[in-house]
Amino acid sequence: MRLILLGPPGAGKGTQAANIVDKYNIPHISTGDIFRKNIKEGTDLGKKAKEYIDGGQLVPDSLTIALVEDRLKQDDAQDGFLLDGFPRNLDQAEALDQILENMACKLTSVINIAVDPSILVERAVGRRICKNCGATYHVVFNPSKVEGVCDKCSGELYQRSDDNEETVSNRINVYSNETAPLIDYYTEQGVIINVDGQKDIDLVFEDIASALGR
């Protein structure tokens, strides 16, 4: 399966991605996670990406598209993948079409997780992530059993540097202006699956799995 997860910041892309890659046994390719790993390791890419991410702006296409193209060429992505957070504008979507054409393959589905904008800030600001295994929690909606400690691996939970109110608001605006038009783009391609991202986490996943039909 060749899948894309589309949705505003805090929609639940990363949360659902964990379930999807587990069930369908495909690699999870999150451009946000790749940038954050590079920032942590202090690479050139990380240094270039940091100011955009902390401002809630898109990292330039010149950096992002090449990164995804390289990742999709790796062995583990040849039989399928889940892209999370890419593409994020029309130029990236057109570039991806070209990359897939060169690989002689097609998208299976684009899963669009719809959430009312009014709850996105609360979702993002309350998010906590495990430093060790990357599991995602929410202080209210999906708390860990012990505050600040991961249920799965006992790792320490942290808050992303871009999960403050001001940056989240910028990210939501960028989403509305640049990313939301992709809903029409993929609807026209006939590959969109719309899911209600305001249900409980497990129910959202049930809807996705039943729409994917396997």
Cite the active site residues.
13, 88, 127, 160, 171
Determine if 59 is a binding residue for ligand AP5 (CB under 6 A).
Answer: yes
Q: How far is the CB of 120 from ligand AP5 (least distance, A)?
A: 8
Binding-site string for ligand AP5 from residue 86 to residue 125, where x marks contact by CB under 6 A and - marks none:
x-x---x------------------------------xx-
Q: Give exposure, 83-94, as e/b (b: 16+ Cβ within 10 Å).
A: bbbbbbbeebbe
Q: How far is the CB of 22 from ligand AP5 (least distance, A)?
A: 14
Q: Tell me which long-range contacts 52-56 makes (C-beta under 8 A, separation of at least 24).
A: 53/161, 53/162, 54/161, 54/162, 54/167, 55/167, 55/170, 56/162, 56/166, 56/167, 56/168, 56/169, 56/170, 56/171, 56/173, 56/174
Determine if 205 is a binding residue for ligand AP5 (CB under 6 A).
Answer: no
Determine if 13 is a binding residue for ligand AP5 (CB under 6 A).
Answer: yes
Binding-site string for Mg ion from residue 10 to residue 39, where x marks contact by CB under 5 A and - marks none:
---xx-------------------------
Task: Pick one of Zn ion, Mg ion, ligand AP5, none as the site partner of residue 15 (Cβ within 5 to 8 A by kind).
Answer: ligand AP5
Binding-site string for ligand AP5 from residue 164 to residue 193, where x marks contact by CB under 6 A and - marks none:
-------x----------------------
Q: How far is the CB of 26 from ligand AP5 (least distance, A)?
A: 17
Element (H, E) at 32: helix 31-41
Determine if 137 is a binding residue for ligand AP5 (CB under 6 A).
Answer: yes
Q: Alpha carbon 129 to chain centroid distance?
A: 14
Give the integer Cα–Cα distance in Å for 87 and 75. Answer: 21
Non-local (6+) Cβ contacts of 157 within 8 A are 128, 129, 130, 131, 137, 144, 148, 149, 150
Q: Check: CB of residue 72 under 8 Å from CB of residue 81.
A: yes
Return residues touching ligand AP5 (CB under 6 A).
Answer: 7, 9-15, 31-32, 35, 52-53, 56-59, 64, 85-86, 88, 92, 123-124, 126-127, 136-138, 141-142, 171, 197, 200-201, 204
